[in-house]
Amino acid sequence: MTLLGTSADSRDTRQFNARELRAAFGHFPTGVCVITGMQPDGTPFGLTVSSFQTLSLDPALILYSVRRGAASLDFLSRRACFAVNILQAGQDWIARQFASHCRDRFASVAWQASRRGNPLLHDALARFECSVWKTYDGGDHVIVIGQINDIDGLQGGKPLIFHRGGFVPVPDLRSSHHPADGAPT
């Protein structure tokens, strides 16, 4: 393990290929979100991410990452604000649509514009409106940190989970809106 400001000694790093690494990463189940925003010409924009993470309560921060070279990266790096839509079980078709190269990713997807103009997807478990706080180099990805400006939705339901290359059903989870005693921070 390394500490802030230090780097690992490359002699301690085993060589492995991208396929092996992707398979290992796949063992970690993640939630699925759609990041949305409005392009300068008024056209809505969105992409599916499974890299969404909570980061800080004070200030209220989240993060996600975008692959370098992705068409969405240029658009997202120029946006001052965006929305995060946490998808629920059964919305895997939305995740696939926003991960595709189709021209109109919003076709057949119910949404409304927020006060800030960001598309908010109907029936998302929760929606966060954020402003870009900072971006960082993350190897073959760019890490975007967003400061939360507003929270919307807070629907009951089960999250959409991505695990080992596919969407999987979720067992019953707590429906409480309050963290359990001893919950990880």
Share of the chain above pLDDT 70, in %: 80
Query: At CA 82, angle to CA 185 and CA 142, rounded to 5?
Result: 70
Q: Quick one: tokens of 75?
A: 């658009």
Q: What is the mean pLDDT of residues 130-159?
A: 89
Predicted pLDDT of residue 1: 46
**Residue 180 DSSP code:** P
Question: Which of 2.102.10.10, 2.30.110.10, 3.80.10.10, 3.30.565.60 is the CATH number of 29-160?
Answer: 2.30.110.10
pLDDT tens digits for range 21-48: 777 776 667 789 999 998 888 889 999 9
* pLDDT over 90 at 57, yes or no: yes
Q: Which residues contact 34 (CB under 8 A, 6 or more apart)?
A: 46, 47, 48, 49, 84, 85, 87, 94, 95, 98, 121, 124
* C-alpha separations of 37 from 3, 46, 119, 120, 123 in Å: 35, 6, 6, 9, 17
What is the pTM assigned to this prediction?
Answer: 0.81
Q: For the chain, give every domain's residue range.
A: 29-160
